[in-house]
Every structure is written in structure tokens, then in C-alpha cells.
């Protein structure tokens, strides 16, 4: 097995690593190579009794982050009102803090549309605050613009608010915030 340890810098970290490799191993892990010492848990799920002693709780795999709302991407050049011309994505704070990619490449982008006016990886959406998001142009061909402006200069970053869409080429990106959100 391979293990990775994060140790402090300076004298404290140096002190953990002084001596033989067996002595360093014992100081880092608490395990004596002769079989004594503390018992390590491979994970809190695998060793719940050790996790409880250490004050850890198992991960609740059913827990979901609180929704921040719905992002909608729709083509304004659609020839008909087809369902595939409008895409929606329910987003949470974790996703927005990491950033969401928008573009044509569905394997790389969280919200993907189909159309030549949308670059393969067009924009990045991040959280600004409880009432707005930021949309960054990622050197796209057709740019990012506020409101319904499909012409004119592209902006490197545009604020996205409820009822105030952003244009990605000829695609409208809008945001419907969730009600009762708590941003920490």
C-alpha cells in the first residue's frame, strides 16, 4: 500500500523524519514494526469504531448540497421550438465555487448546447454572491455579452443576475435563483 502524509515544515517536520526510516515510520503512523502501537483505520467507512473514537462521522452519501438555482441555455437562432434547443442545469454552491464550463463539448462542459455560435468550451460560470454569478469568456470565438447584445465587443467577465441574461454568441444564458438560499 502507498500512503501520503502531510507534515509541517521547519523543525517540527524535520524532527518527524530524523533517525532511521523505521523510527520515522513509527513517529508518523504510531505503528511499531514489531506489531505494537496505535491501530490505523483505512477509512471512516471501513473502521467505524476507530472513526467514532477519533470524533469522525461516516459520510452521508444521500446528502445533497443546497440548490442555488437553475442555469438555462437556449439558442435564439433555433428554427423551431425544439426541446433540444433549451438546456437546464440545477446548480449548487459547490459546483459554482469550483466553476461550471459551458460550451459545445458535452464531455467537458456541465451545460452543453449545440450550435456553431457556441465555442467548444465557451465560458466559465462561478458564484459571486447570493444574488449574482460571474460568467468568464474563455477566449471564445463569439464572445460573452450582457443582456441581449449579440453584436459588439465581447466582455472578459459579465455579471449574471435573475432577469438579466448573458449572451454567449447567439445563445442566451439565464439564471433562476433558488428561493431561501444560504450562502456561507
Contact 26, 33 (CB under 8 A): yes
Structural domain harbouring 23: 10-53
What is the rounded CA–CA span in Å between residue 112 and residue 87? 7
Grid cell for residue 139: 477566449
Q: What DSSP state is assigned to residue 33?
A: T
**Same structural domain, 39 and 92:** no
- Give pLDDT, residue 148: 78
Query: Going residue by residue through the chain (184 aa), what tens digit of pLDDT does each one get?
Result: 566 667 777 888 888 888 888 888 888 777 777 765 555 444 444 545 444 444 555 666 667 778 899 999 999 886 665 555 789 999 998 899 999 999 999 899 999 998 888 999 999 999 998 889 999 999 999 999 998 777 888 999 999 999 899 999 999 999 999 886 555 4
51 vs 74: CA distance, rounded Å: 47
Phi-psi region of 112 (alpha: psi -120 to 50; beta: other; left: phi over 0): beta
Give the pLDDT score at 79: 67
Residue 156 and residue 137: Cα distance in Å, rounded? 5
Q: What is the pTM of this model?
A: 0.62
Q: What per-residue confidence (pLDDT) applies to 125?
A: 97
Provide the pLDDT for residue 127.
Answer: 93
In a domain, 74, yes or no: yes
**110 and 40 in a common domain:** no
Residue 2 lies in a domain: no
Judge if 71 and 46 occupy the same domain: no
Asked if residue 49 and residue 124 are part of one domain, the reply reads: no
- Both 78 and 42 in one domain: the answer is no
Q: Is residue 1 part of a domain?
A: no
Does 87 lie in the same domain as 36? no
pLDDT of residue 52: 47
Check whether residue 31 and residue 75 sit in a common domain. Answer: no
Is residue 82 domain-shared with residue 148, that is, in the same domain? yes
Same domain as 107, residue 78: yes
31 occurs within a structural domain: yes
Amino acid at each position: 500500500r502507498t500512503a501520503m502524509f502531510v507534515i509541517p515544515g521547519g523543525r517540527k517536520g524535520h524532527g518527524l523524519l530524523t533517525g532511521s526510516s523505521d523510527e520515522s515510520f513509527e513517529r508518523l503512523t504510531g505503528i511499531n514494526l514489531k506489531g505494537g502501537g496505535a491501530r490505523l483505520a483505512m477509512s471512516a467507512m471501513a473502521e467505524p469504531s476507530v472513526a467514532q473514537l477519533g470524533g469522525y462521522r461516516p459520510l452521508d452519501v444521500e446528502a445533497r448540497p443546497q440548490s442555488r438555482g437553475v442555469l438555462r441555455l437556449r439558442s435564439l437562432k433555433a428554427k423551431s421550438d425544439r426541446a433540444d434547443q433549451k438546456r437546464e442545469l440545477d446548480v449548487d454552491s459547490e459546483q459554482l465555487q469550483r466553476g461550471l464550463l459551458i460550451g459545445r463539448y458535452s464531455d467537458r462542459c456541465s451545460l452543453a448546447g449545440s450550435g456553431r455560435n457556441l465555442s467548444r468550451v465557451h465560458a466559465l460560470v462561478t458564484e459571486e454572491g447570493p444574488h449574482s454569478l460571474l460568467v468568464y469568456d474563455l477566449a471564445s470565438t463569439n464572445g460573452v455579452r450582457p443582456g441581449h447584445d449579440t453584436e459588439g465587443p465581447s466582455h472578459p467577465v459579465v455579471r449574471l443576475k435573475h432577469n438579466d441574461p448573458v449572451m454567449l454568441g447567439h445563445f442566451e444564458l439565464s439564471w433562476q435563483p433558488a428561493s431561501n438560499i444560504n450562502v456561507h
